[in-house]
């Protein structure tokens, strides 16, 4: 089967591509390199020495490479915004893909107009209000604009199915009115063979808690900061709390060597890339582990301390982790084993293949039925 993976999300499609190739399929990845992350891609849709040159290429390269985006059995698009901020160009792109390929599926991954519009309705809490208040200084997210929402509804006419990567996107696509097109979420592929596991040991008698600084409102950093302050004041000899972001790689590696517990997003229901990598490395994770996330794991809850956007609850969770410091090593082993079991790239690729083959078979049957009716 010829497969085009269009777009990238924290390395997800790189891992999926390798697993699909291993299963014997012909796979092309076309994506922007994600600027400083510099992800590998077969057809580069965005690169540059500055953010301005990078963004300019993101606007132009998808259109200049259209001739390479045809003749595939399956096209899997990572997000509505392959071309940033311009819904009419993304509509043009998806129409071309639909007319020149077999099956077109969309991954529920990353922010889009449906997530921004419906997350507050479909879930008990959402990061969007605090993102707009703190990260955007009170300005509405551009994805809230009616033109973007209308364009995404039109976009869905060209999509055969949505395959979300976490519960949150499943919920918002259903809330937008596309429950029939939205399939069961498929976990993010993580190749643990590439991720070194290290024993989770406490050095110098202090448990080290870490939170990566990036979009303070979206991730709930403003809540975690207060909990860290309370924890260090109450247990000055037992804890060290670090908040840092946009780290040079050597600084990040140094932090990894001493970190025991990684706090991810407080507004998340499910585990995204940062949490999963930390678990694979042998870190205890506090983040999204709501009951709803078990839809990805056949009813099984991940071995993660669940956080909600409530500062008192966050502090309570951190104190619980501290009280169980003697269980850090065994908890880390459970975390690694969980990622190995449920996020194995070969298992994940097989789930995508089953979904695509089922959709293709249905498409063939509908075509036969249409001919019979004529």
Are the C-beta atoms of 122 and 174 separated by less than 8 Å?
Answer: yes
| DSSP characters over 195-237 | S-------BTTBEEEEEE-S-HHHHTHHHHHHHHHHHHHH-TT
Beta-ladder partners of 244: 212
Q: Would you place residue 197 in the very low, low, confident or very high pLDDT band (cuts 50, 70, 90)?
A: very high
Q: Give dist(CA 7, CA 251) in Å, integer.
A: 29
In what helix (H) or strand (E) does residue 113 lie, and over which residues does it extend?
Answer: helix 113-122
pLDDT at 33: 84
Q: Which residues pair with 150 in a beta bridge?
A: none
Contact 346, 10 (CB under 8 A): no
Tokens of 34: 């994600």
Of all residues in the chain, the percent with pLDDT exceeding 70 is 97
Q: Which position has the higher pLDDT, 244 or 313? A: 313
Q: Lowest-confidence range among 3-7, 214-218, 228-232?
A: 214-218
| pLDDT higher than threshold 70 for residue 288 | yes
pLDDT tens column, 306-361: 999 999 999 999 999 999 999 999 999 999 999 999 999 999 999 999 999 999 99
pLDDT above 70 (res 112) = yes
> What does the buried/exposed string (b/e) look like for 343-365 if buried means 16 or more CB atoms within 10 Å of the residue's CB?
bbbeebbebbbebbeebbeeeee
Confidence (pLDDT) at 305: 98
Extract the runs of DSSP E, i.e. beta strands, from the chain.
2-6, 26-31, 43-44, 74-77, 103-108, 161-164, 207-212, 239-244, 261-263, 284-287, 305-306
β partners of residue 203: 206
- Say how far apart CA 301 and CA 151 lie, in whole Å: 36
Most confident by average pLDDT, 200-209, 251-260, 341-350:
341-350
C-alpha–C-alpha distance, residues 252 and 40, integer Å: 21
List, edge to edge, every strand of the sheet that includes 239-244. 239-244, 207-212, 261-263, 284-287, 305-306
The pLDDT score that the predictor gives to residue 253 is: 63
Residue 96: the pLDDT is 98
Question: What value does the mean pLDDT take over residues 173-201?
Answer: 96
Q: pLDDT value at position 374?
A: 64
Q: What is the mean pLDDT of residues 219-227?
A: 98
Section 59-87 average pLDDT? 97
CA 225, 304, 197 angle in degrees (round to 5)? 100
Whether 308 contacts 353, CB under 8 Å: no
- pTM for this entry: 0.95
Under a CB-based contact definition with an 8 Å cutoff, are residues 306 and 289 in contact? yes
Residue 213 has pLDDT above 70, yes or no: yes
pLDDT band of 10, cuts 50, 70, 90: confident
pLDDT tier, 214 (very low <50, low <70, confident <90, very high otherwise): confident
DSSP string covering 131-178:
IIIIITTTPPPGGGSHHHHHHHHHHGGG-SEEEESSHHHHHHHHHTT-
Q: Taking residues 213-236, what's their average pLDDT?
A: 96
Distance CA 89, CA 63 (A): 9
**Summary mean pLDDT of the chain:** 94
Mean pLDDT along residues 149-157: 98
Please determine, for residue 182, whether its predicted confidence score (pLDDT) is greater than 80. yes
Confidence at 250, pLDDT banded by 50, 70, 90:
low
Structure tokens at 176: 């937008």
Whether the per-residue pLDDT at 249 is higher than 60: the answer is: no
């Amino acid at each position: 089967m010829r497969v085009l993976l269009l777009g990238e999300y924290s390395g997800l499609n790189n891992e999926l591509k390798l697993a699909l190739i291993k299963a014997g399929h012909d796979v092309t990845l076309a994506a922007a390199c994600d600027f400083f992350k510099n992800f590998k891609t077969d057809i580069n849709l965005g690169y540059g020495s500055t953010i301005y040159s990078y963004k300019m290429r993101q606007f132009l390269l998808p259109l200049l490479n259209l001739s390479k985006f045809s003749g595939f059995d399956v096209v899997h698009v990572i997000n509505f915004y392959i071309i940033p901020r311009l819904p009419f160009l993304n509509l043009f792109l998806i129409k071309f893909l639909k007319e020149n390929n077999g099956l077109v599926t969309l991954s529920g991954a990353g922010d889009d107009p449906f997530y921004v519009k419906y997350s507050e309705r479909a879930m008990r809490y959402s990061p969007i209000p605090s993102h707009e208040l703190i990260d955007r200084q009170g300005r509405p997210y551009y994805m809230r604009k009616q033109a973007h929402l209308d364009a995404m509804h039109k976009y869905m006419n060209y999509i055969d199915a949505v395959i979300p990567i976490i519960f949150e996107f499943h919920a918002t696509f259903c809330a937008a009115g596309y429950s029939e097109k939205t399939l069961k979420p498929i976990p993010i592929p993580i190749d643990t063979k590439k991720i070194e596991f290290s024993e989770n040991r406490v050095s110098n008698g202090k448990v080290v808690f870490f939170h990566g600084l990036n979009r303070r409102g979206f991730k709930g950093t403003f809540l975690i900061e207060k909990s860290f302050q309370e924890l260090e004041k109450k247990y000055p000899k037992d804890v060290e709390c670090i908040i840092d972001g946009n780290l040079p790689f050597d600084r990040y590696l140094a932090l990894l060597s001493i970190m025991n517990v990684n706090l991810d997003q407080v507004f998340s229901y499910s585990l995204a890339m940062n949490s999963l990598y930390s678990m694979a490395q042998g870190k205890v994770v506090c983040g999204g582990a709501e009951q709803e996330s078990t839809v990805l794991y056949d009813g099984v809850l991940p071995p993660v301390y669940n956080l909600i956007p409530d500062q008192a609850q966050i502090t309570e969770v951190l104190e619980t982790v501290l009280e169980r410091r003697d269980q850090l090593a065994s908890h880390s082993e459970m975390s690694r084993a969980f990622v190995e079991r449920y996020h194995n790239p070969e298992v994940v690729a097989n789930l995508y293949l089953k979904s695509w083959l089922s959709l293709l078979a249905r498409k063939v049957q509908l075509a036969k039925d249409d001919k019979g009716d004529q």
